[in-house]
Structure 1
């Protein structure tokens, strides 16, 4: 039996200004034993609130037996993760989780 995969694209800001909306959207997509792939190619800004959302989603998925993968994280996402020393925490699509 294969793990269900849900793909969500995030465009624009992954920031405090969109945190509540993104949190609600992602919460609906998170189900037990689901692999969530976030396409982050079109993210124009990522702040610590955005990184907190990624961490919370990963934790919730892992608790339910699922996983989070990032697809094509943009430079702002990569920079935010690197600044916080978290780039190794998130698998990129095609890499092991």
Structure 2
């Protein structure tokens, strides 16, 4: 029998706007945290506003994680995030 130590994912909390005004700043943070971890959970419960640029950033991060064989999870979503995800049919 063998066992592997499973590390919990790193957590990243995004609060406030997730809009075009902050995309570059958040992209740098998101990619840096993803590079440091095998798994990253992004908590979106504190996001007060999100636009399509914010959604595009999250989809780009998901693709980057898949390309590097890492895991990216979207955790709790605020009502604003849930509404946009439903509109765009993002799961």
Count residues with an aligned counterpart: 87
TM-score after normalising by structure 2: 0.87
Matches within 5 A, 1:1-97: 1=4, 2=6, 5-31=9-35, 34-86=38-90, 88=91
Distance in 2 (alpha carbons) for counterparts of 1:59 and 1:66: 10
TM-score with structure 1 setting the length = 0.82
Counterparts of 1:69 and 1:84, CA distance in 2:
18
**Divergent runs of 4+, >4 A:** none
CA distance in 1, matches of 2:9, 2:35: 10
The 1:47/1:74 distance shift into structure 2, 3 A limit, reads same
Mapped partners of 1:64, 1:33: distance in 2: 11
Highest Rg: 1 or 2?
2
Unaligned runs of 5+ in 2: none
| Deviation, structure 1 residue 32 | 7.6
1:26 CA displacement: 0.7
Query: In the superposition, relative to structure 1, how do residues 61 and 4 fare at CA in structure 2: closer, same or farther (>3 Å)?
Result: farther
